């Protein structure tokens, strides 16, 4: 595969050192196990400008193939990751979060509460994941193979 990846943890508590980031490292480990090179890991607070800045840096400046966020997808008033992601992406890929929610609901009925989105900016695929390590890795595991195929198409490495 050989694609680059970035993991952005969106959490006020982790950013402020109140809680250790467990989701970011868990997602990075999963990506590495599937052949991705995790080139960037960062923690940002639930602030629209800083989330946007991180997404743009990874996609436009660093030209990372896959950018995965964890956190900020729930119902809390500060959970704004999907809104910022929608503002940044150029083309939405609704099937990715739809399938993640479907698979998540096989585990817990609360899976329907995720507001995750996914989409393309340039040649970068951006995917929102839930904030808990368990939910984040379960969601990413559900789509990781399809994501690889999607990146092949995005990069022009597959005709299909």
Task: Return the domain boundaries, the chain.
Answer: 4-153
CA distances to 56, 63, 103, 120 from 60, rounded to whole Å, are 5, 5, 31, 12
What is the average pLDDT score of the chain? 96
- Percent pLDDT > 70 in the chain is 98
pLDDT at 160 over 60: no
First to last CA, the chain: 16
Mean pLDDT in residue range 34-54: 98
4-153: CATH architecture: 3-Layer(aba) Sandwich (3.40)
Global pTM reads 0.96
pLDDT at 103 over 70: yes
């Amino acid at each position: 595969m050989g694609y680059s990846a970035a993991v952005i943890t969106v959490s006020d508590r982790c950013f402020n050192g109140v809680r250790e980031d467990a989701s970011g490292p868990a997602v990075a480990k999963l990506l590495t196990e599937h052949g991705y090179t995790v080139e960037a890991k960062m923690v940002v607070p639930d602030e629209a400008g800083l989330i946007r800045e991180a997404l743009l840096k990874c996609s436009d400046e660093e030209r990372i193939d896959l950018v995965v966020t964890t956190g900020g997808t729930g119902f809390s008033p500060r959970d704004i990751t999907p809104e910022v992601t929608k503002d940044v992406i150029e083309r939405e890929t609704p099937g990715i979060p739809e399938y993640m929610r479907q698979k998540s609901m096989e585990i817990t009925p609360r899976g329907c509460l995720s507001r995750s989105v996914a989409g393309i900016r340039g040649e970068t695929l951006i995917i929102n994941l839930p904030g808990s390590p368990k939910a984040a890795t379960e969601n990413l595991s559900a789509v990781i193979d399809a994501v690889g195929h999607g990146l092949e198409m995005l990069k022009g490495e597959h005709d299909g």
